[in-house]
């Protein structure tokens, strides 16, 4: 099975890049399933029902989230009814939405998408390692690939999750830092791993935000409202190929594009 996962879509610039690039990515990678992280899709903060609907219309099969899940208040109106969207599974019991789901793709292909959030430099949720174990124990069909978006800040915590799940899931990919890391590999047990997929959105700001506002915050330490940036985009994702017999990974490739169509692989 071929899976595309695209890192945090930031604002209108990121959404437009996604819409524009999906047709050529479909031709190049022949994905059975396309996943995106959507936590920054609405002006950099959260996602709306309309944006999620557009992503699905463009061919996205599943959306994962992160610490910005709740930023748009309307999320509470639709997250319970949207089985193609996951928020971090290690929020406490009773939190709206779901932490894992079955995603149906093209050609009858299916996978389990799990979203987890790290605890270093982020709000302290339940233990993501224990939560991952609990979810895997509850899955009935061991042959379906399991794809984990581990939304976390600390590289150590993400590498730890890769080793924790090696041989038990098809992929552990990191999100949240918005900077693509260059450590993609298939771990010895058969789990595709990368510390961070990177972001899709404005390339000349600071993690997708307008640089003046972020600089002001660093220089003054006063409260500053960050504004999502405009201008040229860059686009980051990964292509993972899994073995249908085992549900584990055969390969992982980084995808790194920018608006000037300089393609780096
Ligand atoms: Fe993000
Ligand atoms: Fe995040």
pLDDT in the model for residue 262: 58
Ligand nearest to the CA of 9: 1
For the record, the structure tokens of 69 come out as 């899940």
The answer to whether residue 265 scores a pLDDT higher than 80 is no
- For 151, the domain range is 2-258
DSSP notation for 205-240: SBTTB-HHHHHHHHHH-S-----B--S-EEEEEEEE
What pLDDT score does 149 carry?
98
Query: Which residue has tokens 């061991």?
Result: 142
User: Which position among 61, 68, 176, 234 bears the catalytic label?
Assistant: 68
Tokens representing 156 are 């150590």
Distance 46 CA to ligand 2 centre (A): 10
Q: How far is CA 72 from the centre of its chain?
A: 18
- Which pLDDT score, from 0 to 100, does residue 143 have? 77
Q: Is 241 left (phi over 0), alpha (psi -120 to 50) or beta?
A: beta
Q: Which neighbouring-strand residues pair with 150?
A: 116, 174
CB 217 within 8 A of CB 226: yes
For residue 71, what are the CA distances in angstroms to 41, 119, 250? 11, 19, 37
Is residue 265 in some structural domain?
A: no
- Structural domain includes residue 68: yes
What does residue 161 show for φ and ψ, rounded to 5 degrees?
-65, -35
* Residue 79 forms part of a structural domain: yes
CATH of the domain at 88: 3.60.21.10
Number of separate domains in the chain: 1
* Alpha carbon distance 185, 195 (integer Å): 10
Task: Please determine, for residue 264, whether its predicted confidence score (pLDDT) is greater than 60.
Answer: no
**pLDDT tens-digit profile of 50-100?**
999 999 999 999 999 999 999 999 999 999 999 999 999 999 999 999 999
Residue 264 lies in a domain: no
Spatial distance between the Cα atoms of 125 and 111, rounded to a whole number of angstroms = 25
Q: Nearest 5°: phi and psi at 75?
A: -55, -35
Q: Using alpha carbons, select from 253, 248, 249 the residue that is nearest to residue 238.
A: 253
In a domain, 93, yes or no: yes
Q: How far apart (Å, rounded) are the C-alpha atoms in residues 83 and 36?
A: 14
Counting ligands in written order, the one closest to the CA of 150 is: 2
Q: How much is the pLDDT for 100?
A: 98
CA 221 to each of CA 120, 214, 229: distance values in angstroms, whole numbers, following the listed order: 22, 10, 20
Binned at pLDDT 50, 70 and 90, residue 263 comes out as low
Instruction: Give residue-wise pLDDT tens across range 96-144.
Output: 999 999 999 999 999 999 999 999 999 999 999 999 999 999 998 667 8
User: Tens digits of per-residue pLDDT, 2-26?
Assistant: 999 999 999 999 999 999 999 999 9
> What is the CA(245)–ligand 1 centre distance, in A?
33
CA of 200 to the centre of ligand 1 (A): 10
Place of tokens 């393609």: 263
| Rounded distance from Cα 175 to ligand 1 centre (Å) | 7
Q: Which ligand is nearest to the CA of 121?
A: 2
- 260: confidence class by pLDDT, cuts 50, 70, 90: confident
Active site residue 43: no
Q: CA 172, CA 194: separation in Å to the nearest integer?
A: 7
Contact 36, 115 (CB under 8 A): no
Cβ 123 vs Cβ 160: under 8 Å:
no
CA of 135 to the centre of ligand 1 (A): 24
Kindly report, residue by residue over 176-229, the tens digit of the pLDDT: 999 999 999 999 999 999 999 999 999 999 999 999 999 999 999 999 999 999
């Amino acid at each position: 099975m071929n899976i595309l996962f695209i890192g945090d879509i930031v604002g209108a610039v990121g959404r437009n890049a996604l819409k524009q690039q999906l047709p050529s990515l479909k031709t190049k990678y022949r994905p059975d399933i396309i996943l995106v992280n959507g936590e920054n899709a609405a002006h950099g903060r959260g996602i709306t029902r309309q944006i999620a609907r557009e992503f699905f219309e463009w061919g996205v099969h599943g959306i994962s989230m992160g610490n910005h899940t709740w930023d748009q208040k309307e999320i509470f109106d639709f997250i319970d009814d949207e089985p193609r969207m996951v928020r971090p599974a290690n929020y406490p019991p009773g939190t709206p939405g779901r932490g894992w789901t079955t995603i149906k793709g093209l050609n009858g292909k299916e996978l389990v998408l799990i979203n987890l959030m790290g605890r270093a430099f982020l709000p302290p949720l339940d233990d993501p390692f224990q939560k991952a174990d609990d979810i895997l124990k509850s899955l009935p069909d061991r042959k379906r690939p399991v794809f984990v978006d581990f939304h976390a800040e600390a590289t150590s915590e993400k590498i730890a999750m890769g080793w924790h799940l090696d041989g038990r899931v098809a992929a552990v990919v990191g999100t949240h830092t918005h900077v693509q890391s260059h450590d993609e590999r298939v771990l010895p047990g058969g789990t595709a791993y990368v510390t961070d997929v990177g972001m899709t959105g404005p390339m000349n700001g600071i993690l997708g935000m307008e640089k003046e506002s972020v600089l002001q915050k660093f220089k003054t330490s006063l409260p500053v409202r960050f504004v999502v940036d405009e201008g040229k985009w860059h686009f980051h994702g990964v292509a993972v190929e899994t073995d249908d017999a085992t549900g584990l990974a055969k390969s992982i490739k980084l995808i790194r594009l920018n608006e000037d169509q300089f393609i780096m692989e």
